[in-house]
């Protein structure tokens, strides 16, 4: 993605302004990463206040009156197609920011940091009462933001927040897609569980040393092409990928009783990281070089974790790396190891879920958060609704188990309402992309089985990564696969792998 730049004074000034904003964003990202990984608990209040101050400063710079005048003039200047795409993304960020008063930006940042920090101790303690007190404030402020945005856009409150994560997507689209999913997924889940009940599966016996797990993580990240000169891996309470394209920070959490959860978490976050590390370098610091949307980001992590890493071909090259670290044992015999990683068993925890039951976790959260933002339910209604939907969609009981029920995720602590549906949209995009890649690269399966992942990564770089936010999501996916989002590929993938 290159551009022969024509002198355009107002647009050039906007470019300089957004470069400055990206540098503040860099500091904010690394301070946020440190807060979740390294920072002693006593630093929480000061760090929260510093990050809130930084978010207000960024908001002030972006929403200054002068910025609005620059946009008016820049729109009259002659720009090539990439500069126009960049200006469009700049304008989208400006329009999103200028609606919200800086007092609300600061209050939301502080309330989110307070809720997230307290959650770390409240979740292990199963302390719903303590958690809900902080969450109420986050929800109140999120509803205020949603109302402001909804009035400006002429949409529902929830759609106004969803648009921040998935521009152009409406909850009516998601209702249609998830509505179809609910007609066939429960039956598929039952059939797969019944089929696998006839196939015994040995579980690896630990303990599994955490330092050894870390060495395994590093070797798998290397296999997946992670650039260690531009990133690192650490431990956090909830796995995430953060930082900036030049310095990507990924995290996982280790458990000496089993190693697969941490390892697949690493694979997932490495998918996010490879996308970040391969965004258009010559445009870094500009909005056009940012990831297209949350669902596209999730499509990359889920393509790595589900399409690639749980495939039989990849599991055959992963197995020797595991044996090298932990030694041979019956559960690591090839066929058993493949069965183990393609096991479908509904569980309470979303991040540990197999790919067949995972969408049920997302639908449950989507339905609750939509009702919460719209004001149809209140925070105190969440546990009962959670229990009812968990029972209906997954046949599991979470009554009184807040820790592994409605307190398990980090997203609501900082008001990230509208994020959850993008996980399953991402899984659908991933299935569509992988199907397309298979057609474009006839030797893909053999390449994977031989540990040659370069053709796969080159295709992703050429068709997704290098474009950043140059195109709207639908255009990006249509250019890459020949059609817009088609959930049929996801169903075909699940039926093919599991039935």
Under 8 Å between Cβ of 67 and 94: yes
Under 8 Å between Cβ of 51 and 25: no
Q: Is 269 a catalytic residue?
A: yes
DSSP annotation string for 225-283: T--GGGEEEEE-SS--EEEETTEEEEEE--BTTBSHHHHHHHHHHHHHHHHHHTS-GGG
Using a CB cutoff of 8 Å and minimum separation of 24, what contacts does 332-339 make? 332/204, 333/202, 336/201, 336/202, 338/312, 339/196, 339/199, 339/201
The C-alpha atoms of residue 230 and residue 208 are separated, in whole angstroms, by 29
The C-alpha atoms of residue 81 and residue 71 are separated, in whole angstroms, by 17
The C-alpha atoms of residue 194 and residue 188 are separated, in whole angstroms, by 10
Please enumerate in sequence order all residues whose Cβ is within 8 A of that of 208, keeping only pairs 6 or more positions apart, or say none: 256, 257, 258, 259, 326
Sequence length of the chain is: 499
CA dihedral 379, 384, 386, 389 (to 10 degrees): -140
Q: Do β-strands 241-244 and 247-252 pair in parallel, antiparallel, or remain unpaired?
A: antiparallel
Under 8 Å between Cβ of 188 and 499: yes
- Residue listed under structure tokens 């188990």: 401
- Residue listed under structure tokens 């939907």: 389
What percentage of the chain's residues is helix, strand, coil (to nearest 5)? 70, 5, 30
The C-alpha atoms of residue 407 and residue 14 are separated, in whole angstroms, by 41
Burial string for 187-222 (b: 16+ CB within 10 Å, else e) reads ebbeebbeebeeeebeebeeebeeebbbebbeebbe
Please enumerate in sequence order all residues whose Cβ is within 8 A of that of 327, keeping only pairs 6 or more positions apart, or say none: none
**Active-site residue, from 137, 166, 269, 367:** 269
Under 8 Å between Cβ of 304 and 268: yes
Residue 68 is encoded by which pair of tokens? 């609005």
Which residues carry out catalysis? 269
């Amino acid at each position: 993605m290159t551009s022969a730049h024509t002198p355009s004074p107002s647009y050039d000034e906007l470019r300089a302004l957004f470069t400055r904003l990206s540098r503040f964003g860099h500091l904010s990202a690394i301070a946020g990463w440190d807060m979740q990984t390294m920072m002693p608990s006593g630093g929480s209040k000061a760090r929260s206040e510093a990050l809130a101050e930084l978010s207000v400063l960024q908001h002030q710079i972006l929403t200054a009156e002068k910025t609005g005048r620059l946009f008016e003039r820049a729109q009259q200047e002659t720009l090539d197609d990439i500069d126009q795409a960049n200006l469009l993304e700049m304008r989208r960020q400006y329009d999103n920011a200028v609606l919200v008063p800086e007092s609300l930006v600061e209050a939301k940042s502080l309330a989110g940091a307070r809720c997230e920090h307290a959650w770390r101790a409240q979740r292990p303690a199963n302390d719903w009462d303590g958690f809900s007190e902080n969450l109420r404030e986050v929800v109140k402020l999120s509803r205020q933001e949603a109302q402001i945005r909804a009035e400006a856009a002429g949409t529902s409150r929830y759609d106004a927040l969803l648009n921040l994560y998935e521009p152009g997507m409406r909850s009516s689209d998601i209702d249609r897609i998830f509505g179809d999913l609910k007609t066939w997924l429960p039956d598929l889940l039952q059939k797969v569980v019944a089929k696998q009940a006839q196939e015994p599966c040995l579980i690896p016996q630990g303990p599994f040393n955490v330092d050894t797990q870390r060495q395994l993580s590093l070797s798998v990240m290397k296999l997946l092409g992670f650039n260690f000169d531009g990133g690192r891996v650490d431990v956090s309470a909830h796995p995430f990928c953060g930082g900036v394209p030049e310095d990507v920070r990924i995290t996982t959490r280790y458990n000496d009783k089993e190693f697969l959860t941490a390892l697949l978490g690493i694979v997932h976050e490495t998918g996010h990281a490879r996308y970040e590390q391969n965004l258009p370098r010559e445009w870094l610091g500009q909005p056009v070089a940012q990831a297209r949307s949350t669902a596209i980001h999730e499509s990359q992590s889920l393509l790595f974790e589900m399409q690639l890493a749980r495939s039989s071909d990849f599991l055959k090259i992963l197995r020797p790396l595991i044996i090298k670290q932990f030694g041979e044992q019956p559960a690591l015999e090839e066929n058993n190891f493949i069965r183990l990683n393609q096991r479908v068993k509904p569980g309470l925890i979303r991040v540990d879920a197999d790919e067949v039951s995972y969408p049920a976790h997302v639908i449950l959260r989507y339905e609750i958060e939509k009702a919460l933002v719209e004001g149809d339910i209140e925070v105190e209604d969440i546990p009962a609704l959670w229990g009812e939907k968990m029972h209906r969609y997954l046949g599991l009981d979470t009554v009184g188990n807040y820790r592994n029920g409605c307190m398990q995720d980090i997203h609501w602590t900082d008001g990230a309402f509208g994020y959850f549906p993008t996980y399953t949209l991402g899984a659908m995009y991933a299935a569509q992309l992988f199907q397309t890649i298979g057609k474009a690269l006839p030797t893909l399966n053999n390449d994977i089985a031989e540990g040659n992942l370069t053709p796969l990564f080159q295709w992703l770089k050429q068709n997704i990564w290098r474009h950043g936010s140059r195109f709207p999501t639908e255009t990006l996916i249509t250019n890459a696969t020949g059609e817009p989002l088609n959930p049929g590929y996801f169903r075909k993938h699940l039926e093919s792998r599991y039935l």
